[in-house]
Amino acid sequence: MQNPTTVRDLGKQLYTHLPPSAQEILLSAYFFRKRRRIHNEVFHAKLTELRASEHLQDPDEFRAMQCVLLKPIVSAAANTPHYRDLFARLGITSADISTPEGLRSLPILDKDVVRRDPAQFVDPIACANGSTVAFTSGSTGSPLRVVLAPDYEALEEAFTARQCAWVGLGDRDRRIRLRGDLIVPGSSTTAKPWRRNFADNELRMSSYHLSPKTARYYADRIMRFSPQALIAYPSSANLLASFVRDLGLKCRIPFIFTSSETLTSLQRETIERNLGGVILDHYGCTEATVAIQQCERGTYHVVPEYSITEFVPTSGSTAHDVFDIVSTGLLNTAMPLLRYRTGDRVRIAGDQRCACGRAFPSITEILGRDDDIVVTPRGDHVGRLDHAYKGLSGIAESQIRQESPSELRVLVVPSTGYNDAVEAQLIANLRSRLGDMDILVERVSAIPRGRNGKFRAVISTIPRSPQPSRSTSAESLTDVCAGSPIRR
């Protein structure tokens, strides 16, 4: 039997040499097989379960549900070298950590520990019938190898399907996909950098070819396709929306589902205003330890069937409403990660009970990675600088790069309306937030993406000195473990 990876690689090589019509046939055949593999009994059973559990209101019912979901995860952890040794050192058994409260007897697990030796976290029994491997984006330069159980993809897909159902989006409704897919070769100059995937009734568009010169073709094709939804990276949707605005184009899409990057408030405003749709954002991670999804009312909900999630005060932050995400995934038995620090932060401000009626815990804002910050000469850590761009015209997108505590380079892709006055105002806005720093703006035609097509708003090589954390205890902030709304 041929290695699946070899078959996939051969398919990719063949794809690049085919004419567009044949590429669409090959693409559709691939996704037809994938669809049959994922939309199986596990998927349908999980989706039915999720549609029932979203109506739970009693915190005790959420807790009982999480205890049931946690049991196979803890059992799998006991089969791994890391947790077998850890349990022995702590003098505990699986039974001692079989509840959300019991998990807190374990230390928080940092990403670097897993990255050093991922095999220490793999349960060979759970992988006996096969597994798949995924890699994190490696924004720090070192991707993490993640092993996923055979049924993980189907389970994950059920959560995506439920979020789509919140706005009435059906499985066969037309959608545009604008992410990191290599739809056509990067060097291609084709005027049609998109391909139909008939299996999923979607049009997959290349984000790498989107530019002021091609934006008109994109907008026209989207309008002719008449999709119900756009599935996109925030940066790709924002770039499309910026070109639609600056070039006076017409492009309307009812719903925009974003994921895989941090969605800023400025991006949200630009996308919704110029594409005319409602955004439903999704936060997750390759390590399969947490999911936070926006509902139809715009609230970010922590998904209690997906993970047991804690919010721990962020070290070094001067904001008293900013927390690190520490979570235990409830889906992946192949590589269970208990109390895993994802490296991302959220803002929680007050009681967030949502008008949608779901009693899921909620947060105010996803702030993104703990390395998406600028360090000032005084040593302050400043994140979410998107407000510095608010009200400025002619900026298609921008990226901040920092290699020195006293200096910033800002890459700007200019669009219609960008001039020296806008640039001067951008520098002034940044200085008002960062203090006395040298700020150099470079005008570029495009900002490089990572290998997976993802965009990073901040790239910094500055080591951050640890700062004392606030005295608020992690335990007081883990109401979410029981699935109850967080109240302050």
Tell me the average pLDDT across 149-155.
97
* Residue pLDDT, tens place only, 272-290: 999 999 999 999 999 999 9
Whether 269 is covered by a domain: the verdict is no
Strand pairing class (175-178; 194-197):
unpaired
CATH of the domain at 386: 3.30.300.30
User: What is the Cα 31 distance to its own chain's centre?
Assistant: 22
Which range in 185-199, 320-334, 451-465 is most confidently predicted, on average pLDDT?
320-334
The domain containing residue 392 runs over which residues?
Answer: 374-455
Whether 110 is covered by a domain: the verdict is no
Comparing CA positions, the residue from 329, 230, 219, 315 lying closest to residue 284 is 329
Rounded to whole angstroms, the maximal C-alpha distance in the chain is 66
- Share of residues in the chain with pLDDT > 90 (%): 62
Q: At what angle do helices 152-165 and 41-53 cross, to 10 degrees?
A: 40
Q: What pLDDT shows up at residue 459?
A: 84
- For the cut 80, the answer to whether the pLDDT of residue 336 exceeds it is yes
Whether 416 is covered by a domain: the verdict is yes
CA distance 375 to 378: 8
- For the cut 70, the answer to whether the pLDDT of residue 33 exceeds it is yes
CA distance 362 to 351: 8
Taking residue 468's Cβ as centre, other Cβ atoms within 10 Å add up to 7
Is the CB of residue 402 less than 8 Å from the CB of residue 408?
A: yes
Q: Please compute, for residue 71, the number of CA atoms within 13 A of its CA located in the half-sphere on the CB side.
A: 6
Tell me the average pLDDT across 251-277.
94
* Residue pLDDT, tens place only, 209-245: 888 889 999 999 999 999 999 999 998 999 999 999 9
Handedness of CA 162, 168, 169, 170 (dihedral sign): positive
Q: Name the pLDDT band for 299 (thresholds 50, 70, 90).
A: very high
Q: Name the pLDDT band for 452 (thresholds 50, 70, 90).
A: low
Q: Name the pLDDT band for 464 (thresholds 50, 70, 90).
A: low
Whether 434 is covered by a domain: the verdict is yes
* Residue pLDDT, tens place only, 397-406: 888 998 888 8
Q: What pLDDT shows up at residue 172?
A: 92
- For the cut 80, the answer to whether the pLDDT of residue 157 exceeds it is yes
Whether 314 is covered by a domain: the verdict is no
Q: Name the pLDDT band for 370 (thresholds 50, 70, 90).
A: low
Q: What pLDDT shows up at residue 482?
A: 36
Q: What pLDDT shows up at residue 100?
A: 96
Comparing CA positions, the residue from 196, 362, 358, 375 lying closest to residue 281 is 362
Number of domains in the chain: 1
Whether 379 is covered by a domain: the verdict is yes
> What pTM does this model have?
0.81
Least confident of 180-184, 308-312, 372-376, 392-396: 372-376
Whether 392 is covered by a domain: the verdict is yes
Whether 396 is covered by a domain: the verdict is yes
